[in-house]
């Protein structure tokens, strides 16, 4: 029997990409869904398709960087369903393309607000409800860049390394306190989503014209690096949740890089620079 069947699962960033397909995969396995995103149109489409798969769905606009809004949302979901079993803190943004020397403070503020504090907000807001359910699970989405640092991705890497550290610390606390909550950190590799294009749109929304290097970087990601279909990634994640895995690596690239970093922790930055030059013609 599926460990998600009949469970109430909240998914942030459900309007597109991995979050959307997590909603579909959970719906197929019989979960009841609380879906949220800042993209109302995308969220509505996800909700409609999840309902068509037979799921009970509660959908709401949510900016995960807004702590008060996340706390209110968690209370609303718990009141709506009467219980919450799982939280998938998936919402995130790209937050890359500039060196530490060149990056504006706004890049760090926004990237950490969404990618790291969004995860912390979601975890803290939902955790009491998960404990009360007697069978909870926290699933926090980090990245391959949660253990691999790369040039021009300092804000993104800081956020995703932070998600990993926060989640692993949470797991130790749940074990030490004998709380009925499992904890998993997810490390996706190159998944075919709109994250590279979204980074360019975010820059334009701030009134910044993307540089030629940023445009070229997005093209390389879209054409060469983001290969795994999001539905496959979602299936791997939910399989990992059902198996109770504390670390869920998504894709061969994520597994290879994890092993490489563990094997040569002192030398991998040089290899990352070499990879950057090979992929993008610079480093």
Place of tokens 């610390």: 169
CA–CA separation, 191 and 152 (whole Å): 20
Catalytic sites, residue numbers: 156
CA distances from 86 to 37, 73, 83, 181, 242 (A): 17, 14, 10, 9, 11
141 and 90 Cβ atoms separated by less than 8 Å: yes
Contacts of 40 (CB under 8 A, 6+ apart): 15, 61
Q: Which H or E run contains 117? A: helix 117-133
């Amino acid at each position: 029997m599926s460990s998600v069947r009949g469970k109430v699962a909240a998914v942030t960033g459900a309007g597109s990409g991995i979050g959307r397909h997590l909603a579909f995969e959970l719906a197929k396995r019989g979960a009841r869904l609380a879906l949220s995103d800042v993209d109302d149109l995308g969220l509505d489409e996800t909700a409609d398709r999840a309902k068509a798969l037979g799921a009970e769905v509660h959908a709401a606009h949510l900016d995960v960087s807004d702590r008060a809004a996340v706390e209110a949302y968690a209370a609303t979901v718990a009141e709506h369903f009467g219980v919450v079993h799982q939280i998938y803190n998936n919402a995130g943004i790209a937050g890359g393309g500039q060196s530490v020397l060149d990056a504006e403070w706004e890049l760090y503020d926004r990237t950490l607000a969404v990618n790291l504090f969004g995860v912390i907000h979601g975890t803290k807001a939902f955790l009491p409800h998960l404990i009360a359910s007697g069978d909870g699970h926290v699933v926090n989405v980090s990245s391959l860049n949660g253990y691999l640092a790369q040039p021009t991705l300092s804000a993104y890497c800081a956020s995703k390394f932070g998600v990993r550290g926060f989640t692993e610390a949470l797991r130790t606390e749940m074990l030490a306190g004998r709380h009925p909550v499992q904890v998993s950190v997810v490390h996706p590799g190159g998944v075919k989503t709109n994250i590279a294009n979204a980074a360019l749109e975010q820059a334009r929304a701030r009134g910044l014209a993307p540089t030629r290097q940023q445009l070229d970087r997005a093209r390389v990601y879209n054409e060469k690096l983001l290969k795994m279909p999001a539905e496959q990634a979602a299936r791997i994640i939910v399989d990992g949740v059902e198996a109770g895995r504390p670390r869920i690596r998504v894709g061969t690239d994520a597994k290879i890089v994890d092993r490489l970093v563990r094997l040569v922790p002192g030398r991998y930055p040089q290899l990352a620079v070499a990879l950057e030059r090979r992929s993008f013609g610079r480093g």
